[in-house]
Structure 1
Amino acid sequence: MFSSHPFLTATLLLLPIIGSIFVSPPRSAAAEYRVYVGTYTRGSDSQGIYQLSMDSQTGKLSLVGVTENVENPSFLAIHPNQKFLYAVNETRDFQGQKSGAVSAFTIDPQTGNLTFLNQQSTRGGDPCHLVVDATGKYVLVANYGGGNICSLP
């Protein structure tokens, strides 16, 4: 049946093997992963972006630290190169403007700790979602209160 399509035959035979490689992590994979959790800080006891360690065998989460003084970091995204983390600052007032903001952080490759880089206005209130494009050049932000989107370089 497949003799007239040798490439297709080889592809179909290898598909189950390739699929299992992508589904199953390699044995040398890290036993623990870093997890970042954004929170609402205004009017609560929350302090910012929580960093947890997740055991890949048990799923247990353990608190590692907190990046404090980040206002309402309610949604987070990591840059494709894994070196930067972006957080929306879900607020309606940023530096005297009727706007929210996006905060940028570097991720320490050894510890996973965050270091604040800068903040930019989202030109609309209550930013609620962001995504980094595949090239890593732009951050797109949806402003819930402003009813608009913003593209940041």
Structure 2
Amino acid sequence: MSDGMSSSTWVGRIGGVCLLLFAIAYGIGGSQIEYAFASDPLGPRVMPMLLAALLAGLCLIYLIRPGASEQFPRGRLLARILAVPALLVASALLLEPAGFAISIFVLTLGVGWIFGAPLRLAIAGAIGQALLWWSVFSYLLDVYLPAGRLFG
């Protein structure tokens, strides 16, 4: 690079900018939470706003002094790295039409397969994760989980 910075420094800064954008989006989302005035002195906005501010502050520090980082990934590694957020988006989009269990199944199956699990083990793990988290949220925590339009 012409300014004396190594390419690995720029990789770190790219990650810092991405996380800073995420912190800003998270803070904006947290600020939009509506709640009853008398529900809590601080309300539900405080925690997302504090987390967003903390992440943004750490990102700014990292942007100023990035330190050493790995080289930018290429080829199959880059495809694997990009596939995980794509699976998260697909899982979120599946939540309403297919329900929580199918959404978590697809997410964990895909992540297991991306990271090298044999397909039958990835399927078994995905079934186990879907059953585990459905049970935890539905029965232990008594949280409503969408069954999806396909099932309910």
Same fold (TM over 0.5): no
Greater share of helix residues, 1 or 2? 2
TM-score, with length taken from structure 2: 0.24
